[in-house]
Amino acid sequence: MIFSALLAAIVLVAAFVQGTAGFGFMFFALPLAALVLDFKTAVVTLGLLAQALNFMILWQHGFRADWRFVAVLTAWALPGIPLGVWALGSLPVTWLQGVLGVLLVAFSLYRWFARPVPRKLGRGWTAAAGLTAGALGGAMFTQGPPVLVYVSLMPWGKDRTKATLVGFFFVTGLVILPYQAFQGLVTTQTLTLAGWALPALAAGVLAGRMLYLRLGEGAYKQLYMALIFGLGLLLISKGCGVV
pLDDT tens-digit series, residues 9-53: 999 999 999 999 888 898 788 878 877 888 788 888 998 999 999
Residues shown for the chain:
243
CB proximity list for 138: less than 8 A, separation 6 or greater: 80, 81, 82, 83, 84, 85, 86, 87, 88, 176, 179
Specify the pLDDT at position 149.
Answer: 80
Q: Pick 66 or 1 by higher pLDDT.
A: 66
Please name which of 166, 189, 202 lies closest in space to residue 8, comparing C-alpha atoms: 202
| pTM for this prediction | 0.80
Interval 91-134: pLDDT, tens: 666 766 776 778 788 878 877 776 766 666 667 778 878 887 87
Look at residue 14 in the predicted model and tell me its pLDDT: 92
pLDDT at 175: 78
Q: How many Å apart are CA 78 and CA 138, to the nearest integer?
A: 10
Question: What is the rounded distance in angstroms from the CA atom of residue 33 to the CA atom of residue 10?
Answer: 7
pLDDT at residue number 114: 65
Instruction: Please state, in angstroms and rounded to a whole number, the distance separating the CA atoms of residues 25 and 17.
Output: 7
Q: What is the residue-averaged pLDDT of the chain?
A: 83
The predicted-structure confidence for 183-239, as pLDDT tens digits, reads as follows: 788 888 888 888 989 999 999 999 999 999 999 988 998 888 888 888 888 878 877
Where does the pLDDT of residue 90 fall: very low under 50, low under 70, confident under 90, or very high at 90 and above? low
Phi-psi region of 110 (alpha: psi -120 to 50; beta: other; left: phi over 0): alpha
